[in-house]
Amino acid sequence: MPEQLGIAFGTSVPTTDLTRVRLPRPPSLTTVCGISCGMSARHFFGTLEAERVTMLVDTRQTATYRDARFAYRDDLAYACERHDVGCAHIAELAPTADLRAAYHKVADGKSAGREDRAVAWTAFLHGYARPVVKDRKVLRDGSPLRELLYGSHERIAFLCACQHHEDCHRRVLLGMIAKHVDGVAVAHLSPENVGGIAPQLKSPRRYLLEAIPVANVSASHMPGRRTA
């Protein structure tokens, strides 16, 4: 199963150019935040205001799905404008369609067990980390992300639909930024971290069977699973 999903467990993640890069402290930015649009608009924008976020970056592959509610593409841009929050969609920060399809092919299968799904989730996050870091070079000079990080915003939030950061690619993205940009901290704006009720973790997706060093994300093994 791991080989089919593109991960040889027990081996290190391939070294990329970015692993040796350390960018200087931005002039204004102090914190990159992660937030889910899976809450009410009132709670969502109230959280952005309370956390002093002035720029929202959409990292979803698509923003036009049926259940997007206020976070539907044009509606989200309008709502951000009304709340005096900048809004941008950076497509290269989203997981690819192929990655999503490979994960759901396993995770949605009727015969898939908890470990199968955990393996698929681990492969998904590693598959996201490699293209973001190596192929897309999202921190390259002149990239949309680099321009935002070195702009005028002190706190930028990166949005996805997943309710909890441990169930989402955004924790890899935020970890990568914090690891490679001096002076930038990470804040996960999950409901329990801003005075709300914690969303339920989607239990095999909370388990990452191999760490992602390039984003400072540690492994989280399933209870009872033997490790090397």
25-50 pLDDT, tens digit each? 999 999 999 999 888 888 899 999 99
Question: Where are the extended beta strands (E) located within the chain?
Answer: 31-36, 55-58, 86-89, 155-160, 185-188
CA 160/CA 174 separation, integer angstroms: 12
Q: Is residue 10 part of a domain?
A: no
What is the Cα–Cα distance from 51 to 30, expressed in whole angstroms?
Answer: 12
Six-digit token string for 221? 């093994």
Residue 86 lies in a domain: yes
Residue 55 inside a domain? The answer is yes
Q: Is residue 185 part of a domain?
A: yes
Q: What is the pLDDT of residue 165?
A: 87
pLDDT at residue 213 greater than cutoff 50: yes
Nearest to 159 by CA among 168, 150, 151: 168
Domain extent at residue 172: 26-215
Query: What's the pLDDT band for 227 if we cut at 50, 70, 90?
Result: low
> For 103-131, what is each residue's pLDDT tens digit?
999 988 888 888 888 999 999 999 999 87
Domain membership of residue 225 (yes or no) is no
Kindly give, in sequence order, each residue whose CB lies less than 8 Å from that of residue 186, ignoring residues fewer than 6 positions away. Answer: 31, 32, 33, 34, 174, 175, 177, 178
Total domains in the chain come to 1
Is 172 part of any domain? yes
- CA–CA separation, 141 vs 9, rounded Å? 33
Higher pLDDT, 193 or 180: 180
Query: What are the φ/ψ torsions at residue 159 (nearest 5 degrees)?
Result: -105, 145
Q: Does 16 map to a domain?
A: no
- Return the residue matching tokens 């070195």: 150
Sequence-ordered list of residues with C-beta below 8 angstroms from that of 127, at least 6 positions apart, any chain = 6, 95, 96, 99, 102
What amino acid occupies position 106?
A: V
pLDDT band at 51 (very low <50, low <70, confident <90, very high): very high
* Residue predicted with more confidence, 116 or 6: 116
The segment with the largest mean pLDDT, out of 67-76, 124-133, 153-162, is 153-162
- Asked if the structure places residue 224 within a domain, the reply is no
**pLDDT band, very low/low/confident/very high, at 201 (cuts 50, 70, 90):** low
